[in-house]
Structure 1
């Protein structure tokens, strides 16, 4: 019996992704090639590894038993090849990452381009997705995320601190007034980011966590559109400084000070527990930390200088017309 490594890799990719189409996309192969390799593995083993229906694929009992060892073999071969490259002083091999859409566009992509140019042997796959993907089940080597680390199955490296700030456009504040405290904030319109699980604004007060609500002007699941909606004057937004920072520097947005701050959070890279950290992943983390800086460059609006927008002057908040 002779099993080919490319057949094992195809089986692992199909089992992890749940479909031949997705496995083919991950492996950069035609569906027909993945199907044939999978069929060859089953012929060689004399066992059916997957139940096939018109809607989905699922592991058979034999497939589930075989998957663990097949996965370990494929990863060990990849790691061995990467280790040999590292012994020669190079970083090489596949590296699959997931990252949030807006952070990826604004900051991660620009930081990655010189890293990849410096290490042409790395074959990176970068997928942008604001949902919290399952790093292990979805086949990622690591995920880049912002916020609290909720999955205990992940091992995380911190990249940079991050704190969400309450902001509004000067035009919105001129029309509706500036809330001076939490009570007045409830009379204003808000732009809410729904991928955090709740549409509430959470702050830290002297007596602990404070949850505030404003009237909903717009609920959405994309940071770019959230930023643009706040700049357009539709309402206030509580957004990470890595999104709001540039507009705070130019004055397109202003900080709204209600005497409370959102909890400090982190940008981090996390890998599935139980997998050793490859040299290329460790090198990437070091590179990103250096590229973002300490404090990160998107926090420059907090520093003194001619571009620094001052927090909006408190004035009596008046109800918005038509709200």
Structure 2
């Protein structure tokens, strides 16, 4: 019969590459971890690990079993958390993926208060602009900005995301302020590459309009885009959650060409078919409260209106 402690030991050794390190993580002796591994291999009738004096590596069978073993341990952790939630407590692991810039700028304060409120939670926050597969990559949920393109995700709306053309006052003093689409074509742009775009898209009375211009910079990070615009490199179409503070201080100027970019959303989403746990629901609620309605980063615009 498969024993959970043997599976847990195998996962710990496979992830750390060392029985000593696995024993430290599990707070067990090395001999106990070794015995549990031997018992697991005997039960499975398979060699899971290559052991030498210098290193431990997975066999082909070990690699195949590892993903299943991780899922088993995840299910056990979720079952324990579910029982705790039934008793009114939020405990256990919670794994979230979020974009780098949004996570760095806006998730911190909300997460700190969330974890202070629920000290038995174990949050793993993976900041990555790559579009991860929440289910396949083992995330409980993803925080995302933009259109919800994956129909396998169930989403909670956090906030609208307005995108505006911005440039530094110095750049506009040197090059002039565009007031129309035609004017905009004569300027240099800073573009976000993760969506594969090197143009700007707006909504007019006649429908969508795409504007192409020369690129001063193409980059896959919002912080670098904002900083390059602050440095006077060109014009960028950026979300106000990145530029709100600089607009309010006057370090960036909003460019009005008589039309706006399509509004997008910031959301938390979990894989379809997986029950949203109480801790995930509370995580989403904490983010909604921290961001506010309208979002706090648009305070400058609310004051103007």
Same fold (TM over 0.5): yes
Q: 1:139, CA displacement in angstroms?
A: 1.6
Query: For residues 13 and 242 of structure 2, what CA distance do their matches in structure 1 show?
Result: 34
Is 1:304 the equivalent of 2:297? no
Q: Which residue of 1 aligns with 2:240?
A: 241
Query: For residues 5 and 151 of structure 1, what CA distance do their matches in structure 2 show?
Result: 36
Q: Which residue of 1 aligns with 2:183?
A: 184
Query: For residues 156 and 13 of structure 1, what CA distance do their matches in structure 2 show?
Result: 36
Q: Which residue of 1 aligns with 2:53?
A: none
Q: How many residues align?
A: 290
Q: Which residue of 1 aligns with 2:219?
A: 220
Q: 1:48, CA displacement in angstroms?
A: 5.8
Q: Which residue of 2 aligns with 1:160?
A: 159
TM-score (norm 1): 0.79
Which aligned pairs between 1:1-323 and structure 2 lie closer than 5 A? 1-5=1-5, 7=7, 11=11, 29=25, 41-47=40-46, 63=64, 73-304=72-303
**Contact preservation (8 Å) 2:142, 2:270:** yes
**Alpha carbons of 1:67 and 1:98: their partners in 2 closer, same or farther (altered >3 Å)?**
closer
**Alpha carbons of 1:180 and 1:222: their partners in 2 closer, same or farther (altered >3 Å)?**
same
**Alpha carbons of 1:157 and 1:102: their partners in 2 closer, same or farther (altered >3 Å)?**
same
Query: For residues 279 and 119 of structure 2, what CA distance do their matches in structure 1 show?
Result: 12
Query: For residues 37 and 235 of structure 2, what CA distance do their matches in structure 1 show?
Result: 53
**Alpha carbons of 1:95 and 1:169: their partners in 2 closer, same or farther (altered >3 Å)?**
same
Query: For residues 203 and 217 of structure 2, what CA distance do their matches in structure 1 show?
Result: 24
* Secondary structure in structure 1 of the residue aligned to 2:160: strand
**Contact preservation (8 Å) 1:97, 1:140:** yes
Unaligned runs of 5+ in 2: 51-56
Query: For residues 198 and 169 of structure 1, what CA distance do their matches in structure 2 show?
Result: 22
Superposed CA RMSD: 3.2
Query: For residues 42 and 167 of structure 1, what CA distance do their matches in structure 2 show?
Result: 61
Query: For residues 269 and 6 of structure 1, what CA distance do their matches in structure 2 show?
Result: 35
Q: 1:20, CA displacement in angstroms?
A: 6.6
Q: 1:181, CA displacement in angstroms?
A: 0.9
**Contact preservation (8 Å) 1:158, 1:269:** yes
**Alpha carbons of 1:157 and 1:147: their partners in 2 closer, same or farther (altered >3 Å)?**
same
* Secondary structure in structure 2 of the residue aligned to 1:85: helix
Deviations 1:11-40 (A, max 9, x none): 5997xxxx776xxx9xx959xx9x967776
Q: 1:89, CA displacement in angstroms?
A: 2.3
Query: For residues 286 and 10 of structure 1, what CA distance do their matches in structure 2 show?
Result: 36
Q: Which residue of 2 aligns with 1:321?
A: none
**Contact preservation (8 Å) 1:3, 1:44:** no
Query: For residues 38 and 149 of structure 2, what CA distance do their matches in structure 1 show?
Result: 39
* Secondary structure in structure 1 of the residue aligned to 2:135: coil
Q: 1:87, CA displacement in angstroms?
A: 3.0
**Alpha carbons of 1:174 and 1:279: their partners in 2 closer, same or farther (altered >3 Å)?**
same
Deviations 1:38-89 (A, max 9, x none): 77644321136799xxxx979769947x966x56643432222112322332
